[in-house]
Amino acid sequence: MPKPHADLTDNIVPPFAIKPATTREVISAVLSVLPAGWQATALPGRIIMYREHRDYSAGVVIGRS
């Protein structure tokens, strides 16, 4: 089984002051603790987060770190 990227295991997202949080709020919080270069993209039926700077024809960039 592949190991997760070190950026994803070495950073901690602080607890949310407002609960429940929306999906966008959670993604924004995760991106805020990751080093520069990460991107979250909404695709039909899923959200992906990769270390990249790329546009997808069927997706919308939610945010970047």
Mean pLDDT of successive 10-residue segments in the chain (65 residues)? 87 82 91 96 95 94 95
The answer to whether the CB of 56 falls within 8 A of the CB of 41 is yes
What is the structure's pLDDT at 33?
94
What is the structure's pLDDT at 16?
78
- Per DSSP, the three-state class of 11 is coil
What is the structure's pLDDT at 2?
86
Query: Letter for the amino acid at 49?
Result: M
Structure tokens at 55: 């546009």
CA distance 43 to 56: 8
The alpha-carbon radius of gyration of the chain (Å, integer) is 12
Q: What is the pTM of this model?
A: 0.82
What is the structure's pLDDT at 15?
84
